[in-house]
Structure 1
């Protein structure tokens, strides 16, 4: 090989050298994400056990969408995700504004708001299950002190799903608040000073300065909350196990119940449906929100 050819080979190797640093991440991504994803897609088309499988095509999907309780779990998942994510956005924004103002004991209040995020989800679920007990729970005892009768929070189908959603919001709003605090404190003070000089009151400053400039924080909270709501399982299982009946079943709890019953192919189908559901909602929403942010 000529000297010129050796130099060219060295240059090509030097140019490709940084790309090799992607290899470990690519291997981990392939093993932990791509392989399980394609394996799930394949096994959702089969009836399988730990030792054998038989290909049955789309039969699992037809059964999934023909079973009323499975479709109910899908509807509950959407309701739960919308309620929890919407509540976290609104409450997180309000708490973020409060905790970036000159309120007394601001540092302590920030710690108090964020503390539930650090607590075990199962522990929170068990605690609120006792607090929401229809006869011996502290919440209904407080309501009874005002001469009112509290509902059966977790055993009445009208309240059960929203009761669990309330606990989810209580536990997760601290993270949304921290994201909003970071977004709000990054807004230059000059904007607020200019708005004050123009005669804008507090509500106008919020609407015209804080809300649009905290948009990246809002997008982050919406996406994270939606993903968490759509994939929620542990809190629901700790508090209601999908009951009463199927009124608080979500896709994740339905999947778990199918695994318990030995319907592995049907439960794998549920995983695929959940994956498609999350992707179909989050990916376009993220694209739209981020595009509007760039246009703004």
Structure 2
């Protein structure tokens, strides 16, 4: 029996090395340091005390709930708006190439820059949004100062910033659909809405799966936009799990914050892996 040559596997070495250095090693190190009280000079083993202390945080439940609300809200809006924009921008609309660039542009802007910009635009008295509303006789709310609106306001900004990527993914998905399907639907007398619902939506399901998974992961681990706009406030109204972890790090509880990062990693894995398997299984059944 001829022995298989190891030569092809050498091509995996560069990517495998990068994956090990930048993912496997930091992940293993995080699990270790989450079991210690550590600083730059020493690490003392603490067992699971960091995890016990983390779960006893008084505002942890609020942070977890805000994280889930934020992730589901932003993922849902990016999925729906991304699909609608993609259909619009592939319909032969006048100037659609320019509009595609306009839709995608916010994706290229720094998240911190977007956060600081909208922090000014949403100022309760001097922000451009409330000034414009006041000009037409509407008393604008405290977008970032009202505890009931702060998290939703940040979520809407995140949707504005990220919907361009969802649109791009959907445009690529729409490009793979053969025009023959639409021609057959028109011959059968299908309306435009029926063509969209019965042809477009099922056939872009792979793109939908990608958008949902990427948006959920981004929403679950988002930190920079929330920190730039509200710092988790007012009070703890817009605190998410990532901002709770960062506040612990700021306070000098480095082992505790590392345990929080491990918990966030496990939370994302427990939510995303089963969801991805379910969505991919539904694709295979088509």
TM-score after normalising by structure 2: 0.97
Q: In the alignment, what sits opposite 1:159?
A: 149
Alignment check: 8 A CA contact 1:121 1:235 kept: yes
Q: In the alignment, what sits opposite 2:173?
A: 183
Secondary structure, counterpart of 1:179 in structure 2: helix
Secondary structure, counterpart of 1:47 in structure 2: strand
Partner residue of 1:72 out of 55, 59, 62: 62
Alignment check: 8 A CA contact 1:61 1:269 kept: yes
Q: In the alignment, what sits opposite 1:125?
A: 115
Alignment check: 8 A CA contact 1:64 1:71 kept: no
Q: In the alignment, what sits opposite 2:271?
A: 281
Q: How does 1:228-239 map to 2 (within 5 A)?
A: 228-239=218-229
Secondary structure, counterpart of 1:67 in structure 2: coil
Shift of 1:63: 1.4
Secondary structure, counterpart of 2:190 in structure 1: coil
Counterparts of 2:18 and 2:173 in 1: how far apart (Å)?
A: 32
Shift of 1:67: 1.1
Q: In the alignment, what sits opposite 2:235?
A: 245
Counterparts of 2:14 and 2:85 in 1: how far apart (Å)?
A: 41
Q: How does 1:193-212 map to 2 (within 5 A)?
A: 193-212=183-202
Q: In the alignment, what sits opposite 1:60?
A: 50
Q: 1:58–1:158: structure 2 CA closer, same or farther, 3 Å change rule?
A: same
- Which deviates further from its counterpart, 210-219 or 60-69? 60-69
Partner residue of 1:42 out of 17, 24, 32: 32
Q: How does 1:206-225 map to 2 (within 5 A)?
A: 206-225=196-215
Q: In the alignment, what sits opposite 1:3?
A: none
Structure 2 residue runs without a partner (length 5+): none
Counterparts of 1:205 and 1:220 in 2: how far apart (Å)?
A: 22
Shift of 1:71: 2.6
- Which deviates further from its counterpart, 95-104 or 21-30? 21-30
Counterparts of 1:217 and 1:19 in 2: how far apart (Å)?
A: 31
Aligned length: 286
Q: How does 1:75-90 map to 2 (within 5 A)?
A: 75-90=65-80
Higher Cα Rg: structure 1 or 2? 1
Q: In the alignment, what sits opposite 2:87?
A: 97
Residue by residue, what CA displacement relative to the aligned partner does 1:148-191 show, whole Å, maximum 9, x if unpaired?
21110001100000000000000000110111111112100010
Counterparts of 1:207 and 1:31 in 2: how far apart (Å)?
A: 45
Counterparts of 1:69 and 1:59 in 2: how far apart (Å)?
A: 18
Residue by residue, what CA displacement relative to the aligned partner does 1:92-122 show, whole Å, maximum 9, x if unpaired?
0110111111222111111111111111111
Counterparts of 1:21 and 1:129 in 2: how far apart (Å)?
A: 47
Secondary structure, counterpart of 2:44 in structure 1: strand
Counterparts of 2:14 and 2:181 in 1: how far apart (Å)?
A: 45
Structure 1 residue runs without a partner (length 5+): 1-7
- Which deviates further from its counterpart, 243-252 or 190-199? 243-252
